[in-house]
Amino acid sequence: MKHFLLAVALLAPPAAYAEPASKIAWTPETLNLVKKGDLNKGKALAESCQSCHGAKGEGIAAEIRDGETIPAIPALAGQVANYTYKQLRDYSNDSRSNSSMTGIAKGLSEQDAADLAVWFSSLPMPEQKTASQDFTRAEKMVGQGDGKRILPPCSVCHGSRGQGEKMDIPALAGQHADYFASTLLAYKSGERHNDVYSRMRLISQQLSEAEIKELASFYQQMK
């Protein structure tokens, strides 16, 4: 991981540091706030999230309705609490933007965000189905990476089972493939830019759209 961060620092364009990618600082106080989030309050708050993210935080896959594509809504169940908290706060302070989530997050206090994050992390990860396909290339990217492109294995950060890491690296297992792919494409284009040290922007820029879709399908079926 240390060597990867050094590579990121060397490769990142100066513009990437023009402003902070996120205003969240993982101070002991902030970490403790999330750690002590109130499950019961989070559960109550999450009732208003069900129409989009599902009764069990399972999210909604993309669909075509009346000839129009309705974007996928991410699964939140089993997500790393610190990651969910960071995303809600990033929406709140405009480090990340979404037509629906920005307004919702601005109405949440830091405590609300922590309570919601802890509640969703307590739910079992969703199990999604994926059509049978060849995951050889995706498995190699996840387990070995690509040294020629200075791409580390996905598992280095996201875990061998796609479970994420306790600081703020998201779980990927069971995530809707359409949402996963759209997220990486947003990083690739720079539309999304709240990744610290430009990590995901640098990685996604070196991935083809085909590779991104394969990784998305691979992680969707992971349990």
Is residue 13 assigned to a domain? no
Q: Which residues contact 38 (CB under 8 A, 6 or more apart)?
A: 111, 114, 115, 118
Averaged pLDDT, 89-114 = 96
Which helix (H) or strand (E) segment is 63 a member of?
strand 63-65
- Do 103 and 160 lie in one domain? The reply is no
pLDDT band at 18 (very low <50, low <70, confident <90, very high): low
**pLDDT for the residue numbered 71:** 87
Give residue 56's pLDDT. 95
Pair 138, 120 in one domain? no
- The pLDDT of residue 26 is above 60: yes
CA distances from 129 to 103, 171, 219, 221 (A): 32, 17, 10, 6
16 has a pLDDT exceeding 70: no
In a shared domain, residues 89 and 151: no
Domain final residue, candidates 73, 96, 124: 124
pLDDT of 164 reads 96
Distance CA 187, CA 55 (A): 29
Percent of the chain surpassing pLDDT 70: 91
Q: What confidence score (pLDDT) does residue 64 get?
A: 80
Q: Which domain holds residue 76?
A: 25-124
Claim to verify: residue 74 and residue 151 sit in the same structural domain: no
Asked if residue 93 is part of any domain, the answer here is yes
pLDDT over threshold 70, residue 8:
no
Q: What average pLDDT does the structure give for the chain? A: 90
Residue that finishes a domain, picked among 78, 102, 124: 124
- Residue pLDDT, tens place only, 158-173: 999 999 998 899 999 9
Instruction: Give rounded-to-5 percent helix, strand, coil for the chain.
Output: 55, 5, 40
Residues 103 and 132 in one domain: no
Residues 186 and 217 both lie in one domain: yes
Instruction: Establish if 18 belongs to a structural domain.
Output: no
- Shared-domain flag, residues 51 and 143: no
Check pLDDT > 90 for residue 7: no
Indicate if 33 and 99 belong to the same structural domain: yes
Q: For residue 6, tell me if it sits in a domain.
A: no
Using alpha carbons only, give the angle 70, 74, 78 rounded to the nearest 5 degrees: 160
Q: Looking at the structure, do residues 217 and 194 belong to the same domain, yes or no? A: yes
**Weakest-pLDDT range from 12-21, 42-51, 174-183:** 12-21
For the four alpha carbons of 207, 209, 210 and 216, in that order, the dihedral sign comes to positive
pLDDT one-digit tens code per residue, 46-71: 999 999 999 999 999 888 877 788 88
How many domains does the chain contain in total? 2
CATH number at residue 147: 1.10.760.10
- Is 109 inside any structural domain? yes
Residue 4 within a domain: no
Q: Over the stretch 115-128, which tens digit does the pLDDT of each residue have? A: 999 999 999 998 88
CA contacts within 13 A on the Cβ side of 83? 19
- Gap between the Cα atoms of 76 and 123, Å rounded: 9
In a domain, 67, yes or no: yes
Residues 216 and 133 in one domain: yes
- Final residue of a structural domain among 93, 124, 155: 124
79 and 60 both lie in a single domain: yes
